Structure 1
Amino acid sequence: MLFRPLAIPGLIEFTCQRHGDERGYFAEAFRQSVFDQAMEDGANHRFVQDNESFSARVGTIRGLHYQTAPMAQGKLVRCLSGAIMDVAVDIRAGSASYGQWAALVLSAKAGNQLWIPPGFAHGFCTLAPDCRVSYKVTAYYSPEHDKGMRWDDPAIGIAWPAVADPETLSAKDRVQPLLADIAPIFGCAPVIALEGE
């Protein structure tokens, strides 16, 4: 398993090394020691849940989603069949890259994965039919902490692929707020002066 940091600090691409012969291949999809070595912040992340989604149509958009503390999730995303454009948006207050986005094409053919730490909104668009996406998460799903933001927020300006089809959005994702309308939820909390100080 190889790793490569992306331009926005915290985002990391992992690629499985495949050992093949005439039958096919064998690959180690995850190794904790390599994952820990790649963590720039030295954090010891532990995965507690595996999720899987299936999208039949090309151009299906899912996201942008995140969970708030104390149930904030880090995600290790992988495409098991087909191909997706996977997107992460930095929503860490005080971050030098706040409001910036990065994207990576994940595909079954490439065998790559994207690590998205807590403090990022996540979404993707399918680039092929019948896409299966799997992601390991560091916190359990919690409906009360489940949040989102607009997939096409003009202030963020994600360059979605031409196949992206807004008609595929879920009812929930059609009404998500803009980033500017979301109170800061990650990063350093503001210092509040106590009475008498």
Structure 2
Amino acid sequence: MRTFALALLLTLPAVAAHADPVQEARSATGACLSAVIDGAPVEDIDGDDVVIRRGKDPVSCTVRVNAGEPVVLQDAVRAAIKRRAELFVPAKTRWDAGDWAFRETFCNIPGRRSLAVFISTNKPGYQPVLTATVFEVPKRDERCDRDLGLQKVAANDPAVAPEAAPVVAAKPEAAIAELSPTPPTPKKKGWRDRIPDFGLGKKD
């Protein structure tokens, strides 16, 4: 546990005042992967540009990114996923993007556990910019290993148009694990202020 905490702290931005949404997204994705796979004690976190939400049914951890360039964020999240020893690879079955720009699923290689990450990347100017949900299910989804044709998700999770637009223009569906709306927070804290101590001493 101490090793995880130290590794996580080392991946966080060095200066919270100059937080980079790309770095925050990468770190948050790594934290969610550790939470679901390793049982790391990661709880709900509200950062300046990134939010983490935990789920129980199925066991999940969702990252919402509200700033940055969609394609750059997508690359950062993919990089965090591919670092894992579980060897995540893109699922054989593709997902309909709907009103989002792109949707994809990464599955771990077949083994004793069934893990996946569902990523939704939005169009420029829409919110959230990207969501990534890490989850574990009892049985491996056959769509990880077989092409079953273009898939659609059932629930709806609206994407917010730019502030200048008078009407919400897009209404894409939610990821496989349903996401709850992010509540407003009166005061946001930096990442370094929200990560548990884990017995490593006081954070600078």
Tell whether the structures are fold-level matches, with TM greater than 0.5. no
Larger fraction in strand: 1
Higher relative contact order (CA 8 A, sep 6+): 1
Question: What TM-score comes out, normalization by structure 1 length?
Answer: 0.28
Question: What TM-score comes out, normalization by structure 2 length?
Answer: 0.27
